[in-house]
Structure 1
């Protein structure tokens, strides 16, 4: 059976790089973003690969998530990468937190991933006996690590990723008996719209590292927080 990847936020940056990388390795890819028709690089890939399908999806639209899961109900998914994310405001200080923006970031970074997991778990269960252990992979961030926080600030994004890590840890326990692994991934500081031009690596380097981590993920790493170089990060 040809393995299938389902990925969110596939229109640019790390999501686009992962989409292309898995296509190059012969996977079927179901790529989601809000406006795929307005994503020229993704459309170029769609014209090049018959193994790529695209779907319009706003991950905060829970009814749309449920509808897409229903449309794909017969599709075994071997790997689901929740890549869609929102950074929110930058450059604010203590006392200047925009609570409305905070709620928006939590909707995308923390709540949506669990909703997606709830609706797509049956698809991963279908893939259990294909030779690929099904995986929920969630792109987190090292800034969500409380033990690594030495600089303070960043309340909105930090808290959304720390909360996501808690979600992933619980998922790894709750889905363990169903043969599904769940893992939090730190992609590195990447040259994307979110990471900025001064970041240390490009999206292709990050994607290659993340795929290597996922290709070699073991049962003992279920529920772990791992960076793109395979190093475990403290919570």
Structure 2
């Protein structure tokens, strides 16, 4: 049985990961959310798939919360870690102004960096022992096309863009150090997806986005260590 850990699993892409993985044979999902009691859809999935979906509390921005999760998982094997939890600060459609030249919310920028960049590093390092117990451990950083420096043709979304570009650097560094220990680390750009963040006008329904991501992940191995890929398996420009 392979064990996946998905952060930010209470909604959007994270919740869809849990939905699609829960029905698979020989897969156990550790689904984390800041407040399990208020994550009704996640709890429903856990009830529908007893023994296959395990809901745990995790606030990725809180070091004590990470420490508590690591203690809870001591001795367990972790095959795939998906660092999905992320922050934009509202939705692209209605809240982009908070990251504009005219009205930058600097406190929000700090929060975004804490959640999108620092937290995935902290959690990955903290769970290294669990990953090393697996035969072919994989860490997936949930990146973004907006983190591509080469593709930035319109500016805007400075806080989110910078956090995802920085996440790619974190991923690359971890791929060097953890790759030497047998852990494959990649960044995944999920496409513009119809979630609370992406909005209803986005290109990809969340079901299709995650379905494609899972197909790509199934084919990843040590040869892909350090890549920045999209949901079609194509390389994304740095």
State TM-score, norm by structure 1. Answer: 0.95
Question: How far has the Cα of 1:35 moved from its partner?
Answer: 1.1
1:203 to 2:206 alignment: yes
Whole-angstrom distance in 2 between the partners of 1:218 and 1:136: 11
Whole-angstrom distance in 2 between the partners of 1:220 and 1:147: 24
Question: How far has the Cα of 1:91 moved from its partner?
Answer: 2.1
**2:112 aligns to what?**
105
Question: How far has the Cα of 1:20 moved from its partner?
Answer: 1.3
Q: Note the aligned Cα RMSD (angstroms).
A: 1.0
**1:140 aligns to what?**
143
Give 3-state SS (helix, strand or coil) of 2:125's partner.
helix
Whole-angstrom distance in 1 between the partners of 2:203 and 2:220: 25
**2:30 aligns to what?**
30
Question: How far has the Cα of 1:97 moved from its partner?
Answer: 1.4
Whole-angstrom distance in 2 between the partners of 1:76 and 1:42: 22
Question: How far has the Cα of 1:74 moved from its partner?
Answer: 1.2
Matched ranges for 1:177-192 at <5 A: 177-192=180-195
1:42 to 2:31 alignment: no
Cα offsets for 1:177-223 (capped at 9, x unmatched): 21100000011111100000101111111111111111001322111
2:97–2:104 CA contact under 8 A, matched in 1: no
Q: Of the candidates 223, 228, 234, which is equivalent to residue 226 of structure 2? A: 223
Question: How far has the Cα of 1:95 moved from its partner?
Answer: 4.0
**1:16 aligns to what?**
15
**1:70 aligns to what?**
71
Whole-angstrom distance in 1 between the partners of 2:101 and 2:178: 38
* Unaligned ranges ≥5, structure 1: none
Q: Of the candidates 157, 161, 176, which is equivalent to residue 158 of structure 1? A: 161
Question: How far has the Cα of 1:96 moved from its partner?
Answer: 2.4
* Unaligned ranges ≥5, structure 2: 90-94
Whole-angstrom distance in 2 between the partners of 1:153 and 1:90: 8
Cα offsets for 1:82-132 (capped at 9, x unmatched): 11000025124314211111000001000100000110011000112xxxx
Whole-angstrom distance in 2 between the partners of 1:44 and 1:71: 22
1:127 to 2:134 alignment: yes
The runs of at least 4 consecutive aligned structure 1 residues that moved more than 3 Å come to none
2:57–2:69 CA contact under 8 A, matched in 1: no
**1:90 aligns to what?**
96
Whole-angstrom distance in 1 between the partners of 2:59 and 2:173: 24
